[in-house]
Amino acid sequence: MSLSSWLQSRAVELGAALCTAAVLIAGLAIGVPFLRARIAETFLYSFCCVSAVVLRALLDLAVRGVVLAVRSAGVRLAVAPSLKPSGAWREG
C-alpha cells in the first residue's frame, strides 16, 4: 500500500469518527432525550471513537516502520513450520 492510499484510508476513517462524534454532540446540544439521559457516556463514546482511529493509525505506522527497518537490515523473518502431521502418526 502506497503512502497516499494509506493516508487516504486513515483520512476516511478519521472523517467518519469525527462525523459520528459531531452527530452525538449535536444531539446533546439540541436536547435529544436519550442522549441527555447519558451525557457522560455520549462524551466518552465521542472521545473514544476519535481516539481509537488515531491510535490505530499510530500502531499501524509503528508496525510498518518496524517491518521496514527489519527488511532494510536484511534480516529474514522465520516462518512457522507447517502444522500438518509429518506422517509419524499413521492410522491402521
**How many domains, the chain?**
1
Whether pTM exceeds 0.75: no
pLDDT, tens only, 62-79: 998 888 888 888 766 665
Range of the domain at 50: 3-73
**Domain annotation covers residue 54:** yes
Backbone torsions φ then ψ of 82, nearest 5 degrees: -65, 145
**Domain annotation covers residue 92:** no
Residue 53: strand, helix, or coil: helix
pLDDT, tens only, 2-52: 878 888 999 999 999 999 999 999 999 999 898 888 889 989 999 999 999
**Domain annotation covers residue 88:** no
d(CA 34, CA 36) in angstroms, rounded, equals: 6
